[in-house]
């Protein structure tokens, strides 16, 4: 397969790129800064320099031509304010979905977050509240598209512990943590299981082997 990943220098994206390249898939990662290209090359991915906050749909669609799937794993990241939560976590996700449609790429995965689609407590930090709202809006924009075979993945609190290869994956799970290694491995398994299209799935650590967990959620 050829996979194009938005947010190609992110911690989950780099892990997914390594997994894809290791098994012989062709993978490209969209990055904002040219100095990030070396890390993608080391992961086995083709770096594509394109700022999703500035690019047009046609700009991005040309990089999705002939792709088998698109994965949105971009995010404004820690230290960014409320404005960039909207322009990246929401706006860039919508742009990438538009570009996938324009290029005729049906399979579309988006990395979201647990806590979206739920009422935000009044005492929530304003920046984190903006992040949750942006993710909620991005998820809704993707799920409304009939031209995409989308899957929304909502991990819990992310850690850098070594992956276990075992998770809990379902439409609704109790809040918890999950390793970035395991998130990347779940994304890989979702790409291999087209019957998970149209599903919104929450993910935390758990007892079930990843391939089995993904297979169980297939509709």
Residues with catalytic function: 131
Planar angle of CA 117, 120, 124, nearest 5 degrees: 140
Report whether 178 contacts 159 (CB < 8 A).
yes
Supply 48's token pair.
């594509």
CA atoms within 13 A on the CB side of 155: 21
Length, in residues, of the chain: 219
Indicate the DSSP class of residue 7.
S
Report whether 176 contacts 157 (CB < 8 A).
yes
User: Cα(138)–Cα(76) distance, rounded to whole angstroms?
Assistant: 13
Q: Are strands 107-111 and 177-179 parallel, antiparallel or unpaired?
A: unpaired
Supply 137's token pair.
């809006």
Report whether 171 contacts 142 (CB < 8 A).
no
Output the CA torsion sign for 142, 116, 206, 21.
Answer: positive
Q: Which helix (H) or strand (E) holds 27?
A: strand 26-31
């Amino acid at each position: 397969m050829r996979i194009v990943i938005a947010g190609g220098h992110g911690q989950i994206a780099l892990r997914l790129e390594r997994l894809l390249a290791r098994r012989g898939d062709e993978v490209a990662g969209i990055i904002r800064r040219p100095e990030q290209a070396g890390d993608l090359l080391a992961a086995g991915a083709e770096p594509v320099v394109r700022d999703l906050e500035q690019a047009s749909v046609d700009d991005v669609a040309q990089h999705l031509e002939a792709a088998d799937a698109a994965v949105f794993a971009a995010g404004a990241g820690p230290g960014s304010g409320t404005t960039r939560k909207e322009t990246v976590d929401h706006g860039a996700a919508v742009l990438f979905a538009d570009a996938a449609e324009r290029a005729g790429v049906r399979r579309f995965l988006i990395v979201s977050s647990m806590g979206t689609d739920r009422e935000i407590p009044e005492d929530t930090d304003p920046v984190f509240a903006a992040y949750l709202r942006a993710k909620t809006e991005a998820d809704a924009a993707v799920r409304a598209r009939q031209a995409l075979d989308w899957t929304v993945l909502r991990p819990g609190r992310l850690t850098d512990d070594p992956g276990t290869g075992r998770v809990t994956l379902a439409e609704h799970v109790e809040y918890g943590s999950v390793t970035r290694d395991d998130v990347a491995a779940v994304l890989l398994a979702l790409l291999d299981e087209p019957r998970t299209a149209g599903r919104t799935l929450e993910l935390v650590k758990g007892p079930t082997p990843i391939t089995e967990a993904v297979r169980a959620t297939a509709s």
